[in-house]
């Protein structure tokens, strides 16, 4: 295994976009909060910016990326994580935000001006439609879907976050968790989710870090993908990471994942239920999810 790059400074920028429905608003903002807390615990010296809810506007996203273009240096790294809904047509991909959306072309133009090494993790629906625009030599692009036509809400973010906090993702046990290691962890967990639920998979994660091509599910020396991702240090483990493995917090995180899975199952069964029954069960699950999130935020 090639040694992971060690950066001077790391900038983590997480954006949770527009949910559109209460369960998605709660889920997207909850995932953003989980990432923010995890990063502050595991990478206390990093520069962390998180936007969700009304603050996750196109203007705020653009403003911060322009700020990074001035602040970041060539030996720094930027990890941009997008959570939410996306849309794609034959022209461009768009990330749904409160107010005007932001397109992949908009993002690429802003990211191209930032001199740092870049990891873009687009975990939205239709995110596969952004690869062709975002890809660039030495930039790692990960998407939750293989194409813009996979338009259902994704569960990939759940397992990406799990991979960032699970020591098992550090497959070579060197206490440096790379982008490639977390991608493999999350991709496998996502596939198992659909198998366990006995549902047809509506998302197929891809990775592209060669600056060309459509992205792959299984990066290898044969297809030329994965080298940069395998050297991109996403997280550093050790004594500072111990805080994120508090048994009580892990129990709450597991409870949160179980509730999200129940909401997924409920939405899947919606057509076979009465409106009153569906809304009643959904309301109860959303209340429990909000209570769990509140406990995690303390």
What secondary structure does DSSP assign to 190-218, as a single string? HHHHHHHTT-------EEE-SSSSS-BSS
pLDDT computed for residue 260 by the predictor: 82
pLDDT computed for residue 271 by the predictor: 85
Residue 237: name the closest of 184, 155, 178 by CA. Answer: 178
User: Encoding tokens for residue 245?
Assistant: 């493995």
Task: Write out the chain's pLDDT in tens, 298 residues.
Answer: 444 444 478 999 999 999 999 999 999 999 999 999 999 988 888 999 999 999 999 999 999 999 999 999 998 999 999 999 999 997 899 999 999 999 999 999 999 999 999 999 999 999 999 999 999 998 999 999 999 999 999 999 999 999 999 999 999 887 889 999 999 999 999 999 999 988 999 999 999 999 998 999 999 888 889 989 998 989 988 743 454 456 777 688 778 878 887 887 788 788 889 999 999 999 999 999 999 988 888 7
pLDDT computed for residue 239 by the predictor: 43
User: Encoding tokens for residue 209?
Assistant: 């870090």
pLDDT computed for residue 3 by the predictor: 44
Got the DSSP string for 44-61?
Answer: TTSEEEEE-GGG--HHHH
């Amino acid at each position: 295994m090639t040694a992971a790059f060690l950066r001077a400074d790391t900038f983590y920028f997480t954006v949770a976009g527009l949910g559109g429905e209460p369960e998605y608003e709660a889920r997207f903002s909850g995932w953003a909060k989980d990432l923010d807390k995890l990063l502050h615990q595991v990478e206390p010296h990093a520069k962390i910016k998180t936007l969700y809810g009304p603050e996750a506007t196109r203007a705020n996203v653009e403003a911060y990326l322009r700020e990074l273009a001035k602040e970041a240096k060539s030996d720094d790294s930027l990890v941009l994580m997008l959570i939410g809904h996306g849309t794609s047509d034959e022209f461009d991909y768009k990330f749904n935000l409160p107010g005007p959306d932001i397109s992949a072309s908009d993002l690429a133009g802003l990211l191209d001006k930032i001199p740092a090494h870049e990891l873009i993790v687009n975990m939205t629906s239709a995110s596969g439609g952004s690869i062709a625009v975002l890809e660039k030599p030495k930039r790692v692009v990960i998407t939750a879907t293989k194409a813009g036509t996979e338009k259902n809400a994704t569960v990939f973010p759940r397992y990406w976050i799990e991979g960032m906090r699970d020591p098992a993702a550090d497959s070579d046990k060197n206490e440096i968790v790379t982008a490639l290691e977390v991608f493999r962890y999350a991709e496998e967990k996502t596939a198992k989710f659909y198998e366990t639920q006995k549902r047809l998979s509506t998302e197929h994660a891809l990775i592209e870090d060669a600056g060309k091509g459509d992205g792959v599910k299984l990066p290898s020396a044969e297809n030329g993908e994965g080298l940069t991702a395998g050297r991109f240090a996403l997280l550093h483990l050790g004594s500072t990471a111990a805080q994120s493995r508090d048994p009580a917090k892990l129990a709450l995180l597991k409870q949160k994942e179980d509730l999200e899975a129940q909401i997924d199952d409920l939405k899947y069964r919606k057509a076979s239920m009465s409106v009153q029954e569906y809304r009643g069960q959904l309301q109860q699950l959303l209340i429990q999810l909000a209570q769990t999130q509140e406990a995690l935020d303390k």
